[in-house]
Amino acid sequence: MKNILGREIPDSVTLPNRQIRLFSGVQVRHEDVVKKSVKTRVADPTEGKVIHDIKKAIEKSGLKDGMTISFHHHLRNGDYVMNLIMAEIAEMGIKDLSIAASSIFPIQAPLVKHMESGTVTGVYAAYMSGPVAKAISEGKLKNPAVMHTHGGRSRAIECGDLKIDVAFIGAPTCDPMGNINGTEGKSACGSLGYANSDALYADRVIAVTDNLVVYPACPIEITQEYVDYVLVVDSIGDPKGIVSGTTQITKDPVGLKIAKNTIRVIEASGLLKEGMSFQTGAGGTSLAVASYLKDIMKEKRITGSFMSGGITGYLVDMLDEGLFKCIMDVQCFDLSAIDSLKRNKNHQIMSASMYGNPHNKGALVNVLDIVILGATEIDLNFNVNVTTDSNGYIMGGSGGHSDTAAGAKLSIVVSQLFKGRLPAVVDEVTTVSTPGETVDVLVTERGIAINPLRQDLIEKMKKHNVPVMTIKELQDVAEKMIGKPEKIQRSDKIVSVVEYRDGTIIDVVYQVKDQ
C-alpha cells in the first residue's frame, strides 16, 4: 500500500490495539472522538502511598509480561528514572514490555541490553537519539518502534491507541499524596508538560522522586488524584544532563546568514506585528533568528502575545524585556527557563496535549503565527525528514515538528544547503517526518524557497524584494558544488513505523544494511 505521499507501507505493518490507517493528508476531520476510559484503583485512605523500594513499587503496580510502561523525558540526558526502573524489572524477570517514552536520550543506553534479552520488545517515542536509536535502527528491537509527534503521543494515549498500563513519572518534587512539581528540588527540570497525558490516562501511576516534601508540594503541576504510589529513590537525575541543549546564539557566519534570511521572510510575511506569536528551537541558528527578531521588535515597538515550545533562557530574556506577554512552556531547556517558571506568572506550563494534540478541543499550535524548524533533509515537495540521518539511522524524530508545522500560519525550515558533502535538498527524503503540505518556506544560506502551495507568500516576498528561488534551483546550486550522493542501501526489515500526529502512518524506517 502507498500513502498519499507515495510512501510504501507494506501490508505486513501492524500496530497493537488498532487498525492501520495510511496518511491521507493533513486535513483534520472535525468529528467526535471518544477518549478512553481509565481504570482507577480507589485508594485506601488508611494506607500511605509512599514506597522506598523499587521492587515493591513495581509489584504494587501489578506489572506483568506484555504490558506497556511509560516515562517522560523532562530529565533529558540526565534521566536516571528509566534506567533504575528497567534494571529492577529485568531483575524481576518480567518480559515482553513496551516502553512508551516521550523521548529517549543517550543516557538510556542500558535499554539496549533489555531489548536484547527480551525484557523490552516494543518502543514508542516522539524522538530518540544515542545507542537505543542505533540499536533499533540495526534491528535489535523485536517489534517496530512507533515514532509519533508530541501532540500525536497525547492523542494516542487519550484515545487508547497507546494504552499505558503503568506510568513512572519522574518527579523532581513530590509530597506523600503524590502531588508533583518540576520546578523545585535538586533534580528540577521545570515544566512536566509531556507527562500530563500519562498521569491522566495510565491505569497505574507511580511518581518517582528524590525530593519528598511535606504535603502539599506547592505549586502543584500533576495532582494527587491521578497518582497511585510515590516511590522515593536517592536520585532521579544528573542536573548536568537535565539542563542540556544549545542555548548560545551561533557565531557561525553561515548560521547567521540563514537567520538573517529568515528574518527577511518573517518581515515580508506581514506577521511581524503587534500580538504576534512565535516558536523557535534551542539550536544556535534558531536562537539567532530570535535575536534578530528581538532587535526588530524593539525598534518597531512591537509586543508579541506568546512564545511557545521548549524554552531557553534567551526566550526568557525576551519575556522579561516585555517583548512578549507570555511564554507557553511544554519543556524547559535550561536553568534560566526553570527560574522564570518559578517567578513569573506569565510563564505558563502547558501539557503536550494542549500544545499539539490534533484531536482535542483546540491545541496551541493552531493559534501560533510563526515557527522556526530544522531539517536533516527536505525533498522537492517540501516533505521534511528529522527522523533518520544520511545513513538511514534513527537520530531524532518529529517531536513537535509536525504539530507546529501543521498549526502555524508560517512554518519556516532553516537549514544549511549542505553540510559537509550532504545536501539538504534531495529528490526523496529517507524518511518523511513532516508532510510538505505543512511546510511553507525553506531558508538556506544560499537562497529562500517558498512552497508553491503558498502563492500568497510568494507574492508577499516579491512585493518586499525578497529574492526567492524554487526548491529545485536550490537543489541544483547544492549539487553543482557537492554532487549528488548515492542512495543508501537498506534491508527489507521494518524497524520503525512513523505516525503522523493524527495516528495515520506517514512512513516506515527500514533496518540499516550491514556495512
Partner 1 sequence: MRILRRSMLFIPGNSPNMIQNAGILGADSIILDVEDAVSIDEKDSARNLIMHALEEVDFYGCEVVVRVNAPSTAFGEKDLREITPKRPDAFMIPMATEEEIRLADAIISEIEKEEGIEVGSIKLVPIAETAYAVESIADIIRTSKRIEAVLLGAEDLTADMEISRTKEGGEIYYARNKIANICKAFKIQAIDTPFADVSDSKGLIEDTLKGKSLGMTGKAAINPRQVDTIHHVYTPSQEEIQYAKSVIDAMKEANKAGKGVFSFEGKMIDAPIILRAETVIRKAILAGMLNEEAMK
Report the interface residues with partner 1, using CB under 8 A.
251, 253-254, 256-257, 260, 445-446, 477, 480-481
Q: How far is CA 187 from the centre of its chain?
A: 21
The single-letter code of the amino acid at 103 is: S
Q: Which residue, 296 or 481, is less far from partner 1 as judged by CB?
A: 481
- Three-state SS for 269? helix
Cβ 288 to partner 1, closest distance in Å? 11
Q: Classify residue 327 as exposed, middle or buried by CB count within 10 Å of its CB (0-12, 13-18, 19+).
A: buried
Residue pair 296/267 in contact (Cβ under 8 Å)? The answer is yes
Q: Any alpha helices (H) in 301-440, and if so which ranges?
A: 313-320, 335-343, 352-356, 401-407
Cβ 264 to partner 1, closest distance in Å? 12
Half-sphere exposure at residue 86, Cβ-oriented, CA atoms within 13 angstroms: 29
Q: Which residue, 118 or 467, is less far from partner 1 as judged by CB?
A: 467
Cβ 476 to partner 1, closest distance in Å? 11
Q: Which residue, 6 or 483, is less far from partner 1 as judged by CB?
A: 483
Distance CA 182, CA 242 (A): 12
- Three-state SS for 109? coil
Q: CA 345, 373, 460 angle in degrees (round to 5)?
A: 100
Q: Which residue, 38 or 254, is less far from partner 1 as judged by CB?
A: 254
The DSSP output letter for 123 is: E
Residue pair 3/9 in contact (Cβ under 8 Å)? The answer is yes
Joined grid coordinates for residue 410: 508560517
Q: Which residue, 255 or 313, is less far from partner 1 as judged by CB?
A: 255
Cβ 481 to partner 1, closest distance in Å? 7
**CA nearest neighbour of 213 among 184, 239, 170:** 184
15: which strand partners? 18
Distance CA 66, CA 395 (A): 27
C-alpha distances out from residue 320 to 181, 298, 368, 497, Å: 23, 13, 20, 42
Q: Which residue, 25 or 483, is less far from partner 1 as judged by CB?
A: 483
Q: Which residue, 62 or 467, is less far from partner 1 as judged by CB?
A: 467
Distance CA 113, CA 109 (A): 8
* φ, ψ for residue 327, nearest 5 deg: -115, 130
Cβ 246 to partner 1, closest distance in Å? 18
* φ, ψ for residue 151, nearest 5 deg: -70, -35
Cβ 298 to partner 1, closest distance in Å? 16
Cβ 388 to partner 1, closest distance in Å? 25
Cβ 299 to partner 1, closest distance in Å? 13
Distance CA 386, CA 390 (A): 11
Cβ 17 to partner 1, closest distance in Å? 50
Q: Which residue, 165 or 445, is less far from partner 1 as judged by CB?
A: 445
**CA nearest neighbour of 457 among 260, 265, 261, 272:** 265
Q: Which residue, 91 or 476, is less far from partner 1 as judged by CB?
A: 476
Q: Which residue, 10 or 485, is less far from partner 1 as judged by CB?
A: 485
Cβ 67 to partner 1, closest distance in Å? 51
